[in-house]
Amino acid sequence: MITLAIQNATMALVALLTGVALVAAALLIAGLISPRSFNPQKGEPYECGIPTRGESMAQFKVGYYLFAILFLMFDVETVFLYPWAVRMRDLQGQGVISIAVFFGVLVLGLVYAWRKGALEWK
């Protein structure tokens, strides 16, 4: 039993080191073969082929970011429904209870966002 735990820990360490080595190699190779340009115009703001006038930083309302985050949150939660739908017959009562809790939390989050006014375009 101890040898199995050591073997699993060794495999996890090898997987971690392999991942780190692959990322490091990709960054190193990209740094070596990427083109370099030291033209000062490269750092200037540029949009649609027309040089910008004035300040290039435009602030957006926080509501747009909040709406986007809410969309992503509910979109990701919808993705979690697919494995449940595939295995629904095998899960029986426990699966129905777990998805009911999941939907409950999802609905509570939606009600909270709605009451806070996060879903209104003002």
From first to last of the 122 residues of the chain, give the pLDDT tens digit.
Answer: 678 888 889 999 999 999 999 999 999 999 999 888 777 777 666 666 666 666 666 677 777 787 788 888 888 888 888 888 888 888 888 888 888 898 898 889 888 888 888 777 76
In Å, how far from its chain's centre is CA 96?
27
Going 54 to 56 to 57 to 60, the CA torsion angle's sign is positive
Cα separations in angstroms, 107 against 42, 73, 83, 89, 95: 48, 12, 20, 24, 18
